[in-house]
Amino acid sequence: MHAVAVRFDLHVPASQSLKAKRAAIRPVIDGLRHRFKVSVAEVDHQNTWQRATIGVALVDGSAAHLEQVMASVERFVAAAPEVELLDTETTWLETES
């Protein structure tokens, strides 16, 4: 079994309120859930107008497949029109069966 968790630190430059920030990151979160079938949540900076951190997690039997999916996830986040990707942190978990 292989698992990966990725933390994306985002800047939302046009946001002037928490409501505007959430409106900007909601399409990213929903898009990740529906397009890639990953677990995703806003995990930090919930009360900051122009910052957001989202966490994405995925479990699979194949490390190669995980790498492919997470590369696509990162491209999706980086291409989001209303957010700027500041940093990415990846944590892997691998177990022996």
Q: Which residues are registered as beta bridge partners of 60?
A: 2
User: What per-residue confidence (pLDDT) applies to 13?
Assistant: 95
Residues spanned by the domain of 26: 2-94
The answer, yes or no, to whether residue 96 has pLDDT greater than 80, is no
- Report how many domains make up the chain: 1
Please give the C-alpha separations between residue 47 and each of 17, 52, 57, in angstroms, as whole numbers. 9, 9, 23
Rounded mean pLDDT of the chain? Answer: 94
Contacts of 33 (CB under 8 A, 6+ apart): 39, 40
Digit-coded pLDDT (tens) for 73-92 = 999 999 999 999 999 999 99
The answer, yes or no, to whether residue 36 has pLDDT greater than 80, is yes
The answer, yes or no, to whether residue 64 has pLDDT greater than 80, is yes
* DSSP conformational letter for 69: H
Contact by Cβ (8 Å): 73, 32: yes
User: What per-residue confidence (pLDDT) applies to 97?
Assistant: 59
User: What per-residue confidence (pLDDT) applies to 94?
Assistant: 74
**CATH number assigned to the domain comprising residue 51:** 3.30.70.1120
The answer, yes or no, to whether residue 95 has pLDDT greater than 90, is no
Q: What is the mean pLDDT of residues 61-75?
A: 94
Instruction: Specify the amino acid at residue 32.
Output: L
